[in-house]
């Protein structure tokens, strides 16, 4: 039988909490893909800029942290809109792979802009949330906070998509791009709203990540690829699938890290992804058609 | 005249190191040639719309297998490199066959290969006791330096000629593919897989052949890089950033012309070197900044790349553009 020792339990719980962070990360990307049908390769770099925003506002200019978070979310939302207007909009009719590569160029640009502007030092908020100790297990508050926020964010996005006019229009346009224009929906406006929402979610993720991780110009590379893989694994544009995939990935990484090295955790997660692509190319929760 | 131009240019390139052999420019030329070969290898499949983000992985396998066999098993690179190429090819089959069999195409294919890059990078980092992890790895020097047996040479001229030869061989392969039936089959596949299959083309086999060819060539580029630099690290020969760098250079140079990847390599490497020399450490980040902006501008305004666009201007207009990066969406 399985011997459930305390380390295994701790790894499992931390995996669930990491899953919350990953789910939040994939939420914005999923939304943008589902609606605009474009993969923002530079999504993690938007988060990186949000983390720098938090760092400068809170640590350097001593803005209260909640206000800093709001400014950050709005700022990254504006970046999302700019990304759409400057790069995506001219390429909407082009081959999907071109949009992929162009946002890859934005990734290079943002990464090196951050290097030039902020240098390559690791920076952190200098703020350490306490660690919760439950009978020999250590669980960090920042992870709990991220987990809770991810759940709330999911619910809010769900309510927005199902209960508002703009949300209904977004869902409709994701189903059929041509007809909705005939129905009098301004697709450009919907795309802008979606980009702002995607950017805002990236900003929210940035506010939570900066509580746990140091920020440096290449931080995006450490969780960007994982975020894409989670979105694809869940079925691009499928929110619930993305959520499930995030937790599966997080548990693989966490348990792999417990028994071997953290790197092996990632190897397991990547291999699992490749195998699942062959078994269920439409995503974990897809119905077979 | 144009018929003899390649031969004249080739003779000039071979003669160059005997006339002019300042070490630094020669070093830059060797680097450009090795990367040109790697980029050519990528474009051999990339031009058919098979955009792989996994080539950093193949390059890493080529470099690390060669170096590990030399250091741990004492196998000469003359045996080690073929084994490394075999490893690269097997890896390509393992990932690509199911992809093509289950029709994972477009950006789904790109993302599966992205995961492959990640796997290779993380495995190299995780096995740090054998590979040195992210600190990098150095093949041991064989006795006094230069040795044909160990494929280690201290003279830059030797390396220049080797790299030139390999690059020329890469161009030859590119042209062979360009003139084969395979090219027409693959172009048809990238337009419409079902119609091509109905016309009697074995879609999976054709795609697999080109992918393995491309992967093996990329592994060779990795092995060559390892033997020349005598130092490899996961960041310089494998992983996602190397894969992106390949795509970037090829898109800038031009995917559909044989010399496009070479033009891309010249532009990107010279840009990085010029910035490094003129600004020193202050230039950290600037080269990628310029790359990023260029990549976006190229995709939006010049999807055929510099060389491709220049050649198009020279040629009569109205040619049907090949599918993929430069073509409008179907």
CATH code at position A63: 1.10.3470
Please count the CA atoms within 13 angstroms of the CA of A219 that sit on its side-chain side: 24
Q: Is residue A287 part of a domain?
A: no
Is A60 at the interface with chain B, CB within 8 A? no
DSSP B284: T
pLDDT at residue B36 in the model: 94
Q: Domain residues for B166?
A: 21-237
Q: Is residue A286 part of a domain?
A: no
Query: Residues 205-224, chain A: which have Cβ within 8 Å of B?
Result: 217, 221
Interface contact flag, A90 B300, Cβ < 8 Å: yes
Contact B234, B124 (CB under 8 A): yes
**Across B200-218, average pLDDT:** 93
Reply yes or no on whether the pLDDT at B297 is more than 50: yes
pLDDT at residue B58 in the model: 94
Gap between the Cα atoms of A239 and A160, Å rounded: 13
pLDDT at residue A128 in the model: 67
CB contacts, 8 Å: A93 with chain B: 328-329
Q: What are phi and psi of B22, to 5 degrees?
A: -65, 130
Q: Is residue A10 part of a domain?
A: yes
Distance (Å) of CA A174 to CA A34, A129, A187, B233, B318: 6, 40, 10, 43, 36
Q: Is residue A173 part of a domain?
A: yes
Q: What is the ipTM of this complex?
A: 0.73
Q: Is residue B157 part of a domain?
A: yes
pLDDT at residue B1 in the model: 61
* Residues linked to residue B152 through DSSP beta bridges, in sequence order: B147
Structure tokens at A90: 């001219």
Reply yes or no on whether the pLDDT at B59 is more than 80: yes
Q: What are phi and psi of B24, to 5 degrees?
A: -65, -50
CB contacts, 8 Å: B114 with chain A: 225, 228-229
Gap between the Cα atoms of A210 and B202, Å rounded: 51
Q: How many domains does chain B have?
A: 1
Q: Is residue B212 part of a domain?
A: yes
Reply yes or no on whether the pLDDT at B247 is more than 90: no
Higher pLDDT, B235 or A4: B235
**Count of Cβ atoms closer than 10 Å to residue A222 Cβ:** 13
Reply yes or no on whether the pLDDT at B330 is more than 50: no
Q: Which among B108, B122, B295 has the least Cβ separation from residue A108? A: B295
Q: Is residue A164 part of a domain?
A: yes
B95 to chain A: nearest residue by CA? A274
Max Cα–Cα distance, chain A, nearest Å: 62
Contact A55, A226 (CB under 8 A): no
Structure tokens at A258: 């417990």
Helix (H, G, I), strand (E, B) or coil at A94: strand
DSSP B134: G
Our measurement of the distance from residue B152's CA atom to the centroid of its chain's CA atoms, rounded to an integer in Å, reads 22
Structure tokens at B62: 């080529």
pLDDT at residue A105 in the model: 84
Contact B36, B28 (CB under 8 A): no
By DSSP bridging, strand A131-134 and strand A137-140 are: antiparallel
Reply yes or no on whether the pLDDT at B318 is more than 60: no
Q: Is residue B224 part of a domain?
A: yes
Is A118 at the interface with chain B, CB within 8 A? no
Max Cα–Cα distance, chain B, nearest Å: 61
Q: Domain residues for A253?
A: 6-279
Interface contact flag, A112 B123, Cβ < 8 Å: no
Q: Is residue B71 part of a domain?
A: yes
Contact A248, B104 (CB under 8 A): no
Distance (Å) of CA B287 to CA A42, A108, A115, A121: 18, 10, 11, 19
Mutating which of B125, B250, B282, B289 best tests the A interface, going by the most A Cβ atoms within 10 A? Answer: B289
Distance from CA of A76 to the nearest CA of B (A): 19
Distance from CA of A143 to the nearest CA of B (A): 24
Gap between the Cα atoms of A25 and A45, Å rounded: 12
CB contacts, 8 Å: B47 with chain A: none
**Across A75-85, average pLDDT:** 92
Is A286 at the interface with chain B, CB within 8 A? no
pLDDT at residue B6 in the model: 79
Q: Which among B98, B116, B288 has the least Cβ separation from residue A108? A: B288
Interface contact flag, A277 B99, Cβ < 8 Å: yes
Q: Which among A104, A260, A263 has the least Cβ separation from residue B125? A: A263
Q: Is residue A188 part of a domain?
A: yes
**Across B258-265, average pLDDT:** 89
* Residues linked to residue B25 through DSSP beta bridges, in sequence order: none
Higher pLDDT, A154 or B199: B199
Q: Is residue B176 part of a domain?
A: yes
Query: Of B88-92, B209-213, B253-257, B260-264, where does mean pLDDT reach its minimum?
Result: B253-257
Is A88 at the interface with chain B, CB within 8 A? no
CB contacts, 8 Å: A43 with chain B: none
Q: Is residue A108 part of a domain?
A: yes
Reply yes or no on whether the pLDDT at A78 is more than 80: yes
Q: How many domains does chain A have?
A: 1
Gap between the Cα atoms of B297 and B192, Å rounded: 29
At B9-50, the pLDDT tens digits run: 888 888 788 877 788 888 999 999 999 999 999 999 988 888
Q: Is residue B107 part of a domain?
A: yes
A270 to chain B: nearest residue by CA? B115
Q: Which among A91, A97, A105 has the least Cβ separation from residue B292? A: A105
Reply yes or no on whether the pLDDT at B232 is more than 50: yes
Q: Is residue A284 part of a domain?
A: no
Gap between the Cα atoms of A238 and A227, Å rounded: 14
Please count the CA atoms within 13 angstroms of the CA of B26 that sit on its side-chain side: 20
Query: Residues 32-51, chain A: which have Cβ within 8 Å of B?
Result: 39
Distance from CA of A40 to the nearest CA of B (A): 12
Distance from CA of A276 to the nearest CA of B (A): 10
Range ranked top by mean pLDDT from A156-165, A261-270, B171-180, B226-235: B171-180
At B110-135, the pLDDT tens digits run: 878 888 888 888 888 888 888 887 78
Mean of pLDDT over chain B: 83
CB contacts, 8 Å: A281 with chain B: 102-104, 108
Q: Is B118 exposed, middle or buried (0-12, 13-18, 19+ CB in 10 A)?
A: buried
- C-alpha closest to that of A223 among A88, A29, A82: A29
- C-alpha closest to that of B160 among B5, B36, B250, B7: B36
CB contacts, 8 Å: A110 with chain B: 292
* Per-residue pLDDT band at A3 (split at 50, 70, 90): low
Higher pLDDT, B170 or A226: B170
């Amino acid at each position: 039988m399985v011997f459930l020792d305390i380390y295994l339990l701790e790894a499992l719980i931390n995996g669930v909490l990491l899953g919350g962070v990953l789910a939040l990360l994939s939420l914005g990307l999923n939304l943008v893909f589902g609606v605009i049908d474009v993969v923002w390769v530079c999504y993690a770099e938007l988060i990186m800029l949000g983390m720098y925003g938090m760092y400068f506002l809170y640590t350097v200019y001593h803005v209260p942290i909640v206000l800093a978070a709001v400014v950050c979310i709005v700022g990254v939302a504006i970046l999302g809109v700019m990304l759409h207007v400057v790069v995506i909009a001219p390429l909407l009719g082009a081959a999907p792979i071109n949009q992929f590569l162009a946002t890859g160029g934005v990734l290079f640009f943002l990464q090196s802009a951050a290097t030039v502007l902020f240098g390559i030092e690791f920076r952190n908020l200098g703020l350490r949330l306490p660690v919760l100790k439950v009978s020999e297990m250590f669980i960090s508050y920042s992870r709990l906070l991220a987990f809770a926020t991810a759940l709330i964010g999911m619910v809010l996005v769900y309510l927005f998509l199902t209960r508002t006019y703009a949300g209904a229009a977004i869902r409709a346009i994701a189903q059929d791009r041509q007809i909705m224009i005939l129905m009098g929906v301004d697709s450009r406006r919907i795309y802008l709203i979606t980009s702002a929402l995607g950017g805002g979610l990236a900003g929210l993720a940035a506010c939570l990540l900066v509580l746990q991780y140091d920020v440096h110009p290449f931080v995006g590379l450490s969780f960007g690829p994982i975020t894409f893989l989670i979105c694809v694994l869940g079925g691009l544009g499928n929110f619930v699938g993305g959520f499930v995939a995030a937790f599966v990935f997080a548990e693989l990484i966490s348990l792999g890290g417990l028994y071997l090295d953290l790197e092996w955790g990632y190897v397991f997660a990547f291999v699992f992804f490749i195998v699942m692509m062959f078994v269920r190319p439409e995503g974990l929760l897809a119905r077979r058609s | 005249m144009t018929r003899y131009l390649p031969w004249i240019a080739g003779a000039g390139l071979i003669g160059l190191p005997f006339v002019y052999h300042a070490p630094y420019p020669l070093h830059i030329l060797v680097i450009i040639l090795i990367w040109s070969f790697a980029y050519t290898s990528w474009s051999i499949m990339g031009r058919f719309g098979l955009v792989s983000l996994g080539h950093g992985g193949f390059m890493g396998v080529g470099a690390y297998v060669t170096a590990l066999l030399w250091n741990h098993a004492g196998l000469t690179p003359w045996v080690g490199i073929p084994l490394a190429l075999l490893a690269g090819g097997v890896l390509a089959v393992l990932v690509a066959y199911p992809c093509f069999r289950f029709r994972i195409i477009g950006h789904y294919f790109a993302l599966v290969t992205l995961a492959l890059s990640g796997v290779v990078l993380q495995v190299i980092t995780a096995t740090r006791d054998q590979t040195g992890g992210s600190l990098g790895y150095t093949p041991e020097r064989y006795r006094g330096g230069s040795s044909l047996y160990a494929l280690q040479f201290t003279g830059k001229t030797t390396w220049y000629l080797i790299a030139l030869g390999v690059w020329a061989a890469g161009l030859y392969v590119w042209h062979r593919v360009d003139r084969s039936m395979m090219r027409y089959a693959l172009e048809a596949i990238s337009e419409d897989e079902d119609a091509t299959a109905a016309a009697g083309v074995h879609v999976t086999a054709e795609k697999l052949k080109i992918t393995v060819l491309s992967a093996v060539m990329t592994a060779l580029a990795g092995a060559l890089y390892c033997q020349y630099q005598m130092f490899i690290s996961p960041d310089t020969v494998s992983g996602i950033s190397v894969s992106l760098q390949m795509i970037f250079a090829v898109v800038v140079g031009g995917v559909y012309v044989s010399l496009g990847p070479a033009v891309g390599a010249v532009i990107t490497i010279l840009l990085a070197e010029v910035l490094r020399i003129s600004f020193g450490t202050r230039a950290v980040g600037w080269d990628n900044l310029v790359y990023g902006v260029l990549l976006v501008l190229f995709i939006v305004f010049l999807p055929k790349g510099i060389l491709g666009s220049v050649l198009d201007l020279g040629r009569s207009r109205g040619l049907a553009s090949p599918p993929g990066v430069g073509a409008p969406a179907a």
